[in-house]
Amino acid sequence: MAATDPAARIAELETRIAEQDRVIADLNDMVVAQWRKMDVLERRLGELREEFDAAAMARSDGREPPPPHY
């Protein structure tokens, strides 16, 4: 419904801007949360790489022993 009254049009625009501001704030919160999660995952990946490298260095000949049923 198109409002021809300037005051009504301004009120409608203000309402739309307020809604857009809320959506932008929500999206920003989601992006911040995702970045935090990515930081945690990258840190954990680094830790796992270090553990893997340490385990690889600990093996003397680089081969795994055969399973116990052999």
Q: How confident is the model at residue 66 (pLDDT cuts 50, 70, 90)?
A: confident
Whether pTM exceeds 0.85: no
| In the chain, beta strands by DSSP E | none
Distance of CA 69 to the CA centre of its chain: 45
pLDDT tens per residue across span 5-14: 999 999 999 9
pLDDT tens per residue across span 16-50: 999 999 999 999 999 999 999 999 999 999 999 99
Which residue has tokens 């930081």?
A: 39
What's the CA gap between 51 and 27, in Å, rounded? 36
